[in-house]
């Protein structure tokens, strides 16, 4: 199961939304009254409070249907965080999560860091032959599993690129599924590290099981600098969010309560507040 429900606009939420990160610790008091404290989690567990105002009646029913299918807090589902980067290892393109063909990636210690942080964050892609490609696949259904009225999600892909002498002068970035639907943008690296972006909304009938962020159609062999890949479930590019082993596609989430309430404020307008939490294990 996948949440949240897609609204009629293609968005996954309406502001305001609150996010939380929580750890768990346990303290033991010994015989000499000293205390030992241990952490029970290696990484924080995330939570979201969604203020869903001005829902259409159909959108309200989608949320209620999903809540019923989850039986309140009983059933776990995957939450797609609209405020997060949905890609893993957004700077480590040499990681195996990035599937590569005829190219390699490695940290470039000499490249200028775009945020004046530690060196080595910019990576150098080396295209050894064409056609070459690199992509990451995320387990998100574009049409929004769990919703009886499919509207489809809008995604934005962004990253920074820079030209290297004798390297490819152009390549494509694309957003697509694992079957047939995609949108691409041809980009041209320059002498300055520049952010490029592409926004695409899938067809409402698309029930593919995965979404891909992809680089391909390199104009030739050679090298290009790349930094900060980001895929968001929103219709515009936002501030960069670095990721590692975790991303905004969060499995093992549940409703925090066994009860959900809504208020009909006027004709075809509803207010609802939903709390979702990530659980360990």
Q: Name which of 23, 58, 29 is nearest 42 in CA terms.
A: 23
pLDDT of res. 116: 59
Which residues, in sequence order, are CB contacts of 68 under 8 Å at separation 6+?
A: none
| Whether the Cβ atoms of residue 130 and residue 171 lie closer than 8 Å to each other | no
pLDDT at position 148 = 45
- Distance from C-alpha of 198 to C-alpha of 234, rounded to nearest angstrom: 11
Residue environment code for 11-40, b if the CB has 16+ CB neighbours within 10 A, otherwise e:
bbbeeebeeeeeeeeeeeeeeeeeeeeeee
The Cα 96–Cα 133 span in angstroms is 14
Ordered DSSP codes for 158-208: EEEEEE-TTS-S-EEEEEEESSS-EEEEEE---SS-EEEEEEEE--TT---
Picking from 16, 36, 18, 39, the residue whose alpha carbon sits closest to that of residue 27 is 36
Q: Answer whether 218's CB lies under 8 Å from 187's CB.
A: no
What per-residue confidence (pLDDT) applies to 6? Answer: 72
Amino acid 14: pLDDT: 66
Nearest of 161, 214, 149 to residue 9 by alpha carbon: 149
Give the 3-state secondary structure of residue 112.
coil
- pLDDT for the residue numbered 229: 97
Rounded to 5 degrees, φ, ψ at 204 are -65, -25
pLDDT at 84: 93
Q: What is the pLDDT of residue 174?
A: 97
Sign of CA dihedral 171, 175, 178, 181: negative
Report pTM. Answer: 0.87
DSSP 95: S
Give me the tens of pLDDT residue by residue for the chain, a chain 281 residues long: 776 667 766 666 666 678 888 888 888 887 877 788 877 777 889 999 988 888 888 888 888 888 998 899 999 998 888 889 999 999 999 999 999 999 999 987 666 666 655 566 889 999 999 999 999 999 888 766 554 455 678 899 999 999 998 899 999 999 998 778 899 999 999 998 899 999 998 887 777 778 999 999 999 999 999 999 999 988 889 999 999 999 999 999 999 999 998 999 999 999 988 999 999 87
Question: Distance between CA 85 and CA 96 in Å, rounded?
Answer: 18
């Amino acid at each position: 199961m996948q949440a949240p429900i897609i609204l009629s606009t293609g968005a996954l939420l309406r502001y305001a939304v609150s996010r939380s990160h929580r750890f768990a610790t346990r303290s033991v008091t010994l015989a000499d009254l000293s205390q030992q404290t241990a952490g029970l989690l290696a990484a924080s567990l995330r939570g979201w409070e969604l203020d869903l105002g001005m829902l259409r009646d159909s959108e309200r029913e989608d949320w209620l249907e999903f809540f019923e299918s989850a039986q309140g807090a009983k059933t776990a589902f995957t939450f797609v965080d609209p405020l997060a980067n949905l890609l893993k290892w957004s700077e480590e393109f040499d990681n195996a999560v990035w599937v590569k063909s005829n190219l390699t990636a490695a940290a470039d210690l000499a490249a200028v860091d775009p945020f004046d942080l530690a060196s080595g964050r910019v990576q150098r892609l080396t295209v050894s032959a064409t056609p070459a490609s690199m992509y990451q696949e995320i387990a998100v259904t574009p049409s929004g599993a769990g919703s009886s009225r499919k509207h489809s999600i809008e995604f934005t892909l962004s990253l920074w690129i820079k030209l290297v002498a004798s390297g490819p002068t152009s390549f494509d970035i694309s957003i697509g599924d694992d079957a047939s639907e995609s949108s691409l943008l041809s980009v041209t690296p320059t002498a300055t590290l520049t952010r490029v972006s592409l926004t695409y909304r899938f067809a409402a009938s698309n029930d593919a099981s995965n979404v891909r962020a992809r680089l391909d159609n390199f104009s030739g062999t050679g090298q290009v600098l790349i930094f900060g890949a980001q895929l968001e479930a929103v219709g515009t590019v936002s501030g960069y969010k670095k990721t590692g082993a975790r991303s905004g596609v969060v499995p093992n989430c549940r409703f925090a309560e066994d009860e959900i309430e809504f208020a009909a404020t006027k004709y075809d307008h509803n207010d609802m507040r939903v709390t979702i939490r990530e659980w360990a294990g």
